[in-house]
């Protein structure tokens, strides 16, 4: 494997990424792809369109978790 080849696991953990695929965001959240798309559809997980692609900002999964934790504490 050369220096430009990455495995899916290595890509998902790369801290220099600005945007994640939906699958990478799902792996970070430890949820399924379908659940991740549902969170995007409801607006709970931020995403953007890049041409015909759907991407999740790298900080969005952590922000989603922080909002869920804050909501749980407030309840």
39, with CB counted inside 10 A (0-12, 13-18, 19+), is buried
Residue 56 near residue 19, CB atoms below 8 Å: yes
Average pLDDT in the chain:
88
Burial of 47 by CB count in 10 Å (0-12 exposed, 13-18 middle, 19+ buried)? buried
Question: What pTM was estimated for this model as a whole?
Answer: 0.79
- In sequence order, which residues have a C-beta less than 8 Å from that of residue 45 and are 6 or more positions away? 25, 36, 39, 56, 60, 61, 64
pLDDT at 14: 79
- List, for residues 9-25, the tens digit of each pLDDT value: 555 567 789 999 999 99
Coil, helix or strand at residue 71: helix
What percentage of the chain exceeds 70 in pLDDT? 83
């Amino acid at each position: 494997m050369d220096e430009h080849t990455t495995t899916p696991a290595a890509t998902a953990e790369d801290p220099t990424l600005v945007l994640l695929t939906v699958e990478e965001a799902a792996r970070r959240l430890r949820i399924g792809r379908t659940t991740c798309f549902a969170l995007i559809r409801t607006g709970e997980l931020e995403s953007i369109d890049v041409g015909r692609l759907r991407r999740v900002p790298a900080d969005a999964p952590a922000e989603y978790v922080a909002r869920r934790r804050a909501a749980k504490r407030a309840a």
